[in-house]
Chain A
Amino acid sequence: MTGRAGRVAVTVVLAGAVSACGTVSERRDEVRDAAVAFEKAVAAGAYGRMCTALAPGTVEELEQSAGSPCAKALSEESLASGGAVRVVDVYGNQARAVLATDTLFLSRFAAGWKVVAAGCSPRPEQPYQCRVKGG
């Protein structure tokens, strides 16, 4: 490979990586936006919008364990709005949004960031305990 071809290849790979994944701050903003949208739906009791914001695996688990469609299952969970976003952590395609009174876990899908788990409380040395989560 010539020097010029090598530089072009490196540029293409880097450009592909950046455009595919976005910068860390861009992804953090995307996660924040997704968390805020979910919390607005929770505050409004808009269960349909909440279902749209959930990850496919989480919807499946929710419907299976409740034995009812997603919106109805969510209405029975009575999730409370978590307030403002305090901290966002993003690693690869996984993220955590710490809110004033709640914590969300999110994952990036083709349609954008989706909520994998909500209504989560920390437990020492163990995974968060979440009211809504995937399987």
Chain B
Amino acid sequence: MTQHSSRTTPPEHRGLRGFVRDNGLGLFFTVTFLLALAGQAIAGHADFNNQLVADQLRPISLAEYLTSSDFAVDVAENWQSEYLQFFLFIGVTVWLVQRGSPESKELHKGGTESDKQQLVGKYAKEGAPAWARVGGWRRAVYSHSLLLVMGAIFLLSWLVQSITGVAAYNEQQLRQLQAPISWSQYLGAADFWNRTLQNWQSELLAVASMAVLSIYLRQRGSPESKPVGSAHGATGVEG
């Protein structure tokens, strides 16, 4: 905290307000994520119990539902597809461009670009991350850290989906007086791929829509859009 800023705003006010103002985007999506997850838990619990009651079986408590495979697979199947979406978006936009889209780099910049363009090594400026300054494996890892972490979360979520999915599927099988199946059998089962692909298709459609619609449409003030007056053909321009 600088002397100047502490003079202009009372410290106890400035700290919280300043934090909220500086982190509004992250805070908004974290809070709305938690609210939506809570809503999913309540609606999912009610839906699950409706099925149990219809089958003349014992309904379960909310605490039981929150630790059930049914809730876990519903959460994980959506998480994996979201992280796959960002993994692909980050990775594919290195190489592929879209004329006129603010989601794309300029048309001639396809690829991982030079050290000078990426401000690493001897081109690093003041305030650059330490691993961007150094060479070797640390720079290589840091240069792809966003893609690596998104990819790792995607794979982990997908693995969790498969494990909780087979448990939820088998619980359903037993309720219908059918034999349970193994995890490896589940990986080839229609239920696993239906859950997976119905999420993938919607994520891919959303990205394709964003990449193309943003060529012609605008949202004034949003960095996800080009400036309102930009030409449709202007590529790699954010508002």
Contact = CB atoms under 8 A, between A and B. Distances in A.
B67 A122 contact: no
B178 interface: yes
A2 to B, nearest CB: 17
A91 B180 contact: yes
Interface in B176-230: 176-180
Given A91-B171, A105-B177, A127-B178, A60 B63 contact: no
Interface string B71-104: 0000000000000000000000000000000000
Interface string A41-81: 00000000000000111101000000000000000000000
B60 interface: yes
Contacts of A117: 177
Contacts of A32: none
A86 to B, nearest CB: 13
Interface in A76-102: 89, 91-96
Nearest to B167: A91
B58 interface: yes
B67 A21 contact: yes
A130 interface: yes
B55 A108 contact: no
Contacts of A92: 68-70, 167-168, 171
Interface string B128-143: 0000000000000000
Contacts of A13: 63, 66-67
A20 B174 contact: no
A84 to B, nearest CB: 19
B177 A128 contact: yes
Nearest to A105: B177
B174 A89 contact: yes
Contacts of B174: 89, 91, 94-96, 105
Contacts of B2: none
Nearest to A129: B177
Given A16-B63, A93-B60, A134 B180 contact: no
Interface in B40-65: 55-58, 60-61, 63-64
Given A13-B63, A21-B64, A91-B170, A107 B58 contact: yes
Nearest to B69: A92
B65 to A, nearest CB: 10
A91 B58 contact: no
Contacts of B171: 91-94
B56 A20 contact: no
A115 B66 CA distance: 26
Contact of B177 (A20, A89, A110, A127): A127
A120 interface: yes
A133 B177 CA distance: 9
A134 B56 contact: yes
Nearest to B48: A92
A10 interface: no
Contacts of A20: 61, 63-64
Given A109-B57, A128-B178, 19 more contacts: A13-B66, A16-B63, A17-B64, A17-B67, A89-B170, A91-B69, A91-B168, A91-B173, A93-B60, A93-B171, A94-B57, A94-B174, A96-B180, A105-B174, A107-B175, A117-B177, A127-B177, A133-B177, A135-B56
4 closest cross-chain pairs (CB), A and B:
A57-B56, A94-B174, A91-B171, A17-B67
6 contacts: A17-B66, A21-B67, A92-B167, A93-B60, A133-B177, A134-B56
